Chains A and B, each alone.
Chain A
Amino acid sequence: MKPVLDARDVSVRYHLRGRRVLQAVDGVSLSVMPGEALALVGESGCGKSTLGRCLVRLQRPSSGAIAIDGIDIARMSERALRPYRRRMQMVFQDSQAALNPRRTVAASLAAPLLAQGVSRAEAAARVAKLLELVGLPEEAGSRFPHAFSGGQRQRINIARALALDPALVVADEPVAALDVSVQAQIINLFSDLRARLGLAMLFISHDLAVVRQLSDRMAVMYLGSVVEEGPTEALLRMPRHPYTAALMAAVPTRDGAAPAVLAGDVPSPLDPPSGCRFHTRCPFVRERCRSERPALVADVDGRTTACHFPIQS
């Protein structure tokens, strides 16, 4: 089976004043199979959102290849890209900012269809189906976004992302701005939609609890590159990269034990550390980590880790 999305060595560099270069994404390779849910995990500022935007070509990567259904879209012009846009859609974190306040819900939902050349009548019929699909009443279509709660608005955003019947949905922190009770509803909606439509999804999140519920596989990012990747369950049960272990230790637990917060700050991507990017904060740092950058190494059990001295089970 061919992957829906296959990103190879994607980098995003920003050239700043004084010849300084900010490396936001540093040679990331990812692939998502049809129907699969991949989670992209990391602290804020690690480049996961930038990567997500590149993958749906809301921004052009500086280098690398992004293949949708086997066709590289990384350098395509907007015009050439238009038919491929149908295959991948994005759900944003801020449900309010992602909807035009001056357009009715029905108009917002029909917009992707009209932009892709679907007739008005067909679009109207599809809008009714979309509202039903995300669990909103049909009369919601005639109202404006401000009349809805955050959770309902996120349903509208999901419906819009599904309007073009994409193969892949990239969701950037889709539940981070919602109340916990509403989060559960939206998570259930995502699971339900995946089961019904066979959607492939890429979830960008910093919340490991959400990641555990939503994803089959997860990739952990640190300072622009992937440090560990594998099946979500296995990774969360037995992290091999010290950074993954540190992320898990930082989650508050029910027994009241103090979460172990990683010492120090994320180094500036303007001036990344030599060797392993994580060596400045790694509790197991050794001499080799400071000079030599570890490559992502695939293990027999379908996991890859970028660490010279992975944690042994």
Chain B
Amino acid sequence: MSAWRALVRRLDARIAASVLAVMVVACLAAPLYAACVARTDPFMSNIGGSFSEHGVTRDIMQPDDNPLHLGLTPIGPQWHAQYLLGADGQGRDVATRVLYGGRSSLLIAAASAALCMLGASILGICAGYFGGWTDTLISRLLDIFWAVPVYLFAISISIVTISHALRIGPFSIAADNLLLPIGIIATVYLPYAARPIRARARSIARTDYVLAARGYGASHSRVILREVLPNLWDLIVTLAPLVIALTLLAESALSFLSLGVQAPAASWGTIILDGEGLLYRRPAIAIAPGIAIVTVVLCLNVLGDALRAVLDPKAGGRV
């Protein structure tokens, strides 16, 4: 496991992995934060609510400071246990919602990336290993997917499925089911991961050791499992963080367009949407989940680059 040791030795990989770990743990601890620190419900509208600080009770929604005092503006960041980052348009604690949002964002991103990598591996290996008609069929199908802009594709499927709830035979998937965004995002990124896997599988399928394996009577499934897959792992491991970064961005975009996670549940994308209307007066609402997204995507990219440098000796970099 020299690759693993080389990875641990890299400072950039260590930092990226630590930051990611802290963010994941923080998001997982969201209920704890809500119950013990912020003492609030992240999903309940709280427009008439108030909170007390240093014995002073204040309304969460403050009257606007325009001459007529029309309308209400949520309080801004308090830098205190309660309402750390202020409240959103419905008086809910933004910090708590960002943590809860992270749970769904990260879950959807990771699950759709896993699904995407699984599907891409199966398609890529079949196309690359068997070649011929199988390859033509799968490759052209992926080309068609690839030809449609990713977000346009995702938005189209989301609109159809979310407005009608998906029914496949006896199975029905409700519009607010997380499986919908997971499946959609995994589908649109299939070609992104399947193409490099196909290319690698194709070159492995033509090696003498695969020929030798056929020569001693190994079945196709045995050859794929024992000869092809072990030589694909490094590629799959390298692709995974980059795919998670892409799926996270796609999830946020879909949620921002109300086509992903459905209210009152939160994701980083929906919180940005919540903050959009208050962008000038309470920018923290949109900026906080924005920073979270940028941090995770940046860390995943750094990690992906480090993995590639460690696993592919030809790519250069420190060893």
Partner-binding segment picked from B67-75, B176-184, B211-219? B211-219
Q: In the bound complex, what is the Cα–Cα distance between A122 and B28 (angstroms)? A: 49
CB-defined contacts of B215 to chain A, threshold 8 Å: 56, 58, 85, 89-90
B209 touching A97, Cβ below 8 Å: yes
CB contact between A101 and one of B213, B214, B226, B231 (< 8 Å): that residue? B231
8 A Cβ contacts from B139-183 to A: none
CB-defined contacts of A94 to chain B, threshold 8 Å: 208
Please give me the residue from chain B that is nearest to A85 by CB atom.
B217
A98 touching B212, Cβ below 8 Å: yes
Q: In the bound complex, what is the Cα–Cα distance between A90 and B215 (angstroms)? A: 7
Q: Mark B203-241, 1 if CB is under 8 A from A, else 0.
A: 000011101111111110010001100110100000000
Please give me the residue from chain B that is nearest to A157 by CB atom.
B212
CB-defined contacts of B233 to chain A, threshold 8 Å: 102
CB-defined contacts of A164 to chain B, threshold 8 Å: 216
Q: In the bound complex, what is the Cα–Cα distance between A160 and B213 (angstroms)? A: 10
Q: In the bound complex, what is the Cα–Cα distance between A97 and B233 (angstroms)? A: 19
Q: Take A97-B208, A98-B208, A103-B226 as given contacts and tell me if A115 and B213 are in contact as well, using a CB distance cutoff of 8 Å.
A: yes
- The majority secondary structure among interface residues of chain B is helix
A111 touching B230, Cβ below 8 Å: no
CB-defined contacts of A103 to chain B, threshold 8 Å: 226-227, 230
A3 at the interface (CB under 8 A from B): no
Inter-chain contact count A-B, CB under 8 Å?
A: 60
Please give me the residue from chain A that is nearest to B231 by CB atom.
A102
B217 touching A116, Cβ below 8 Å: yes
Please give me the residue from chain B that is nearest to A98 by CB atom.
B208
Please give me the residue from chain A that is nearest to B219 by CB atom.
A115
A112 touching B216, Cβ below 8 Å: yes
Q: How large is the interface on B (under 10, 10 to 19, 20 to 34, 35 or more residues)?
A: 10 to 19
- The majority secondary structure among interface residues of chain A is loop
A58 touching B216, Cβ below 8 Å: no
Q: Mark A66-91, 1 if CB is under 8 A from B, else 0.
A: 00000000000000011101100110
Q: In the bound complex, what is the Cα–Cα distance between A116 and B214 (angstroms)? A: 11
CB-defined contacts of A157 to chain B, threshold 8 Å: 212
A111 touching B231, Cβ below 8 Å: no
Q: Mark A90-117, 1 if CB is under 8 A from B, else 0.
A: 1010100111111100001001100110
B216 touching A116, Cβ below 8 Å: yes
Give chain B nearest CB distance to A70 CB in angstroms.
20
B216 touching A111, Cβ below 8 Å: yes
Q: Take A100-B227, A100-B231, A103-B226 as given contacts and tell me if A92 and B216 are in contact as well, using a CB distance cutoff of 8 Å.
A: no
A100 touching B217, Cβ below 8 Å: no
Give chain A nearest CB distance to B231 CB in angstroms.
5
CB-defined contacts of A97 to chain B, threshold 8 Å: 207-209
Indicate the member of B207, B215, B218 with the most A CB atoms within 10 Å: B215
Q: In the bound complex, what is the Cα–Cα distance between A98 and B219 (angstroms)? A: 18
Please give me the residue from chain B that is nearest to A172 by CB atom.
B208
Q: In the bound complex, what is the Cα–Cα distance between A56 and B219 (angstroms)? A: 16
CB-defined contacts of A115 to chain B, threshold 8 Å: 213, 216-219, 222
Give chain A nearest CB distance to B297 CB in angstroms.
31
8 A Cβ contacts from A118-160 to B: 157, 160
CB-defined contacts of B226 to chain A, threshold 8 Å: 100, 103, 111
Indicate the member of B208, B211, B219, B230 with the most A CB atoms within 10 Å: B208
CB contact between B213 and one of A81, A102, A111, A163 (< 8 Å): that residue? A111
Indicate the member of B212, B219, B222, B233 with the most A CB atoms within 10 Å: B212
Indicate the member of B213, B217, B222, B231 with the most A CB atoms within 10 Å: B217
Give chain B nearest CB distance to A126 CB in angstroms.
13
Q: In the bound complex, what is the Cα–Cα distance between A112 and B217 (angstroms)? A: 7
Give chain B nearest CB distance to A280 CB in angstroms.
34
B212 touching A92, Cβ below 8 Å: yes
A98 touching B209, Cβ below 8 Å: yes
Q: Take A97-B208, A98-B209, A99-B209 as given contacts and tell me if A58 and B214 are in contact as well, using a CB distance cutoff of 8 Å.
A: yes
B209 touching A100, Cβ below 8 Å: yes
CB-defined contacts of A112 to chain B, threshold 8 Å: 216-218
Q: In the bound complex, what is the Cα–Cα distance between A98 and B212 (angstroms)? A: 7
B208 touching A89, Cβ below 8 Å: no
Please give me the residue from chain A that is nearest to B206 by CB atom.
A97
Please give me the residue from chain B that is nearest to A57 by CB atom.
B215
CB-defined contacts of B207 to chain A, threshold 8 Å: 97
CB-defined contacts of B214 to chain A, threshold 8 Å: 58
Give chain B nearest CB distance to A249 CB in angstroms.
33
Q: Take A103-B230, A115-B222 as given contacts and tell me if A81 and B216 are in contact as well, using a CB distance cutoff of 8 Å.
A: no
CB-defined contacts of A56 to chain B, threshold 8 Å: 215
B217 touching A82, Cβ below 8 Å: yes
Give chain B nearest CB distance to A204 CB in angstroms.
14
Q: In the bound complex, what is the Cα–Cα distance between A100 and B226 (angstroms)? A: 9
Indicate the member of B218, B219, B222 with the most A CB atoms within 10 Å: B218
Besides A99-B209, A103-B226, 20 more A-B contacts (Cβ < 8 Å) are A56-B215, A83-B217, A85-B216, A85-B217, A89-B215, A90-B211, A90-B215, A92-B208, A92-B212, A94-B208, A98-B209, A100-B227, A111-B216, A111-B218, A112-B217, A112-B218, A115-B213, A115-B218, A157-B212, A164-B216
A-B contact pairs, 11 of them (CB 8 A): A58-B214, A86-B217, A90-B215, A97-B209, A98-B209, A100-B227, A103-B226, A103-B227, A108-B209, A112-B217, A115-B217
Residues of B within 8 A of A (CB): 207-209, 211-219, 222, 226-227, 230-231, 233
Q: Which 10 A-B pairs have the closest CB atoms?
A: A112-B216, A85-B217, A102-B230, A98-B208, A115-B218, A82-B217, A97-B208, A100-B209, A92-B208, A90-B215
